[in-house]
Amino acid sequence: MATSPQTPLADASTLRLTTIGRRTGEERNVMVGYIEDGSTFVTMAMNGWGEGEPAWWLNLPANPATKKCRRGVSYPNSTSWE
């Protein structure tokens, strides 16, 4: 999908999100696309184009603590999931 500089998607990028597995208790890493809204990273929980929610999204209610890393910089857990 082509975007123009006027659309928010023109600034979209990826970050590494680390969640804790709801069944295993082990760290799980996934790359997610995001856009920035001020100091907030905004992403969508998509399972490719398949049905159902992605595993990382399902892990959040069990353990909302996450790690985020973008361009080699880690961000503290200041997560709110809506």
Q: How is the chain split into domains, by residue range?
A: 11-74
What amino acid is encoded at 14 in this protein? T
Residue with tokens 């001020």: 38
Q: Could you tell me the pTM of the whole model?
A: 0.72
Cβ atoms of 19 and 27 within 8 Å: the answer is yes
CATH topology assigned to domain 11-74: Pnp Oxidase; Chain A (2.30.110)
Query: pLDDT tens across 12-49, in order?
Result: 688 899 999 999 999 999 999 888 888 788 888 888 78
pLDDT for 64 equals 87
Structure tokens at 62: 């069990």
Residue with tokens 């503290």: 76
- Beta strand pairing call for 27-37 and 40-42: antiparallel
Nearest to 60 by CA among 43, 39, 37: 43
Structure tokens at 1: 């999908």
